[in-house]
Amino acid sequence: MTDLLRKPKGASGKVHDVTPKDAGWGYVGFGLYRLKPGESAAERTGETEVILVLVEGKAEISGGGKAFGEPRRPDERLRAQATALRLCARRFRLER
């Protein structure tokens, strides 16, 4: 397996972008956005299914022409829990 320990490509925006080809995987890629309040990110995904996971903070999420708003964590007191949203859309947008 290839070396997957990688340093971020900056302090904000898309700081990690691991494609299946880069990692030697068959299907799954990984991207990490670090957004400051007021920043946004958008990406075209084509036919790729996307799972967006909010590791920290909150964001407004939209994709496929549909606004999902701000997903709520199952329990706001448990900071270690992440919020996830599965999208089968050709594009997504995050706004923090």
Residue 40: the pLDDT is: 92
Residue with the larger pLDDT of the pair 88 and 71: 88
pLDDT 10s digits, 25-83: 888 888 889 988 899 999 998 887 788 888 788 888 898 888 888 776 555 555 555 67
What is the separation of C-alpha 85 from the centre of its chain, rounded to a whole number of angstroms? 9
Mean of the pLDDT values across residues 10-17? Answer: 89
The model's pTM: 0.72
